[in-house]
Amino acid sequence: MSYCLNPNCPNPENSAFSDRCLSCGSLLLLRDRYRVLQSLGQGGFGATFLAQDEALPGEPSCVIKQLRPSGSSAHVLQMARELFEREAVTLGQIGNHPQVPRLLDFFEENRQFYLVQEYISGSTLQQEVKTQGTLGEVSVKQFLCEILPILQYIHGRRVIHRDIKPANLIRRNQDSRLVLIDFGAVKNQVSQAVLNQSEHTALTAYAIGTPGFAPPEQMAMRPVYASDIYAVGVTCIYLLTGKSPKDLDYNPTTGELIWEDSVCVSKHFAKVLRKMLEVSVRSRYQTADDVLRDLELEPYIDSLAKGLTSSSQSQERFGYRLEDSGVYYSNPSHAATNHSSAGVAQVAAAIRARRARLEGTVAPTGVVGERVISNKSTALTSSNSSPSTRSTTPRRLNPDGLLNAYTKGRRDFALHNLNLINLPGADLSGTNFHSSQMEKINLQGANLYNSDFGKANLNRANLRDANLSKAYLHNADLEGADLRGADLSYAYLNNANLRGANLCGANLTGAKISEEQLAVAKTNWMTVRPNGRRGLL
């Protein structure tokens, strides 16, 4: 089919190879190369169409945006033109980021403005939630770990998107990666320019983004980088609840969304979301990196909070105190040197050491600031200690101890030594194994659904036929691991080491994994790739 781009055409659908529209007589081949196939949607400033580029071999698909403002006044037309030009400049400025559509063309023809972009085949997050249901905490964390680096990239180029929402995030069929689309409302710098009344009216009517996803400062035409973080936070609530902002109540005094009773997440993750959704810009996360840094603390928070049984004297002796599951250093030098996920991990190790001594078990070795905590003594060391001095020895657990703890409701086994443990067929779904040592562990046929293995050492682990669906394996070491027949559907494997891992017969449908990772692993014709197809590279 050929689709007519004349906004006033009464019947825009034509036969596939027509040169002119049968209804209005308009030429159907735009710029002698683009044949429009169908309409994809229409907004306040323009319509979007699926087209094919007949000037290129294979006639690849593309997306064409046509300037089509809903108003006819001069200032609205001018604003629409500026937004289109801004989107083109921004897409060119961002460059060839793999998760942003490439700008292919930009031109004016017959007093109409057109922008041609790379076509992204896939479903939006909005469509995914409607067809597949809401996501759990681990899956939403995976979403954040993918979208926040995109924000880091565009914010680093002084670009504010201003319209982040589930409908503008596409899960690309080719590799299951998220792609951020629709840069039509972008602001390419943070400024406080004073607008005249007509411009302010046009901006307020059209360029503020989507109500509910846009924070107050953006609605007031003063967007900042943190405005995008708010929109990502609202998107997280949508993924967890399936409810758009208009379906949620809000506090009439503060304007804050009321969402916490509608979700089931850990206290720490709720705290991260709460800070993303702060109405006050000053109280909100300022950068995407800040959010990622707090997400990295997650594996240690529960252990830190549970380990807080010592007196205030003990806390001061170790140089820290804890409030609301957060770490606060009583010694400013400790705060300066340990304000990172690694520093908090060391604090966690120290608290575990004290708790282990109280329980009469083997205690790990750890470092807090400039103090080394061991199972026998506490000794001062220089802050410039070698990495080996500052390393931690994870707490050892045997199979019975792990299963008993899990049966009693414990789900946090971060930073534990589980090497060589034999637990075939065990049910350990929803468990936190972040940064644990699990070398040569036998979990064949185990249920590990929605579990966190971020930064875990799974070198040569037996995970054959295991259920790892929606598991978080970011930065995990899976070198030489046996994953034959494992269910890795929708697992998050970004930056995982898969050298020599056996993925023959594994199901990787929807998994976050690169072709480079697959190239160093073992696959066969039974391996189900991220796009759902079986076969080799």
pLDDT in tens, 71-86: 667 776 777 777 777 7
Helix/strand/coil for 60: coil
- 240-283 pLDDT, tens digit per residue, is 999 999 999 988 888 889 999 889 888 899 999 999 999 999 99
Q: How is the chain split among helix, strand and coil, in percent rounded to 5? A: 30, 20, 50
53 assigned to active site: no
Q: How confident is the model at residue 361 (pLDDT cuts 50, 70, 90)?
A: very low
Rounded distance between C-alpha atoms, residue 416 and residue 439, angstroms? 11
Cβ-defined contacts of 347-351 (< 8 Å, 24+)? 347/300, 347/304, 347/318, 347/320, 348/300, 348/303, 348/304, 348/307, 348/414, 348/415, 349/373, 349/392, 349/415, 350/318, 351/303, 351/304, 351/307, 351/308
For 437, phi then psi, to 5°, come to: -90, 115
CA angle, residues 48, 51, 54, in degrees to nearest 5: 150
363: DSSP letter? P
Which pLDDT tens digit goes with each residue over 181-214?
Answer: 887 655 554 433 333 333 333 333 344 678 889 8
Q: Give the torsion sign (CA, 435, 436, 440, 441).
A: negative
Cβ neighbours, 10 Å, residue 43: 15
Between residues 305 and 279, the one the model is more confident about: 279
User: Which amino acid, one-letter code, is at 312?
Assistant: S
Mean of pLDDT values over 44-63: 87
Looking at residue 301, its pLDDT comes to 55
Please give the structure tokens belonging to residue 434. 């972040």
How many angstroms separate the first and last alpha carbons of the chain?
34
**Residue range 352-363: mean pLDDT, rounded:** 45
Over range 328-343, report the average pLDDT: 38
Band of residue 393 on the pLDDT scale cut at 50, 70, 90: low
Tokens, residue 66: 């046509």
Instruction: Tell me how far apart the alpha carbons of residues 371 and 368 are, in angstroms, rounded to a whole number.
Output: 5
Give the three-state DSSP class for 123: strand
Residues 445, 426: Cα–Cα separation, whole Å: 8
For the cut 80, the answer to whether the pLDDT of residue 377 exceeds it is no
Q: In the structure, what pLDDT confidence band is assigned to residue 533 with cuts at 50, 70 and 90?
A: confident
The amino acid present at 190, given as its one-letter code, is V
Return the pLDDT at 142.
87
Q: Please give the backbone phi and psi of residue 30, each rounded to the nearest 5 degrees, phi first.
A: -75, 125
Q: From the candidates 32, 53, 163, 452, which is the catalytic residue?
A: 163
Stronger pLDDT, 38 or 370, i.e. the higher one: 38
Res. 303: pLDDT tops 80: no
| pLDDT interval class at 354 (50, 70, 90) | very low
- Say how far apart CA 409 and CA 412 lie, in whole Å: 9
Alpha helices in 38-136 (DSSP H): 74-94, 125-132
More confident residue, 352 or 490: 490
Asked whether the beta carbons of 180 and 99 are under 8 A apart, the reply is yes
Here the tokens at position 312 are 């205030």
Q: In DSSP terms, which residues pair with 215 in a beta bridge? A: none
Q: Which two tokens stand for residue 198?
A: 């007509």
Phi, psi angle pair for 324, to nearest 5°: 50, 45
Write b or e for each residue in 293-306: b if 16 or more Cβ atoms lie within 10 A of its Cβ, otherwise e: ebbbbbbbbbbbee
The structural domains of the chain, ordered by start, are 2-118 (3.30.200.20), 122-295 (1.10.510.10), 297-390 (no CATH), 395-537 (2.160.20.80)
**Token couple for 458:** 């799974």
Q: Which residues pair with 477 in a beta bridge?
A: 457, 497
List own/partner pairs for 95-101 with CB under 8 A and 24 or more apart.
Answer: 97/150, 97/153, 97/154, 98/177, 99/146, 99/150, 99/177, 99/178, 99/179, 99/180, 100/150, 100/154, 100/179, 100/180, 100/183, 101/63, 101/179, 101/181
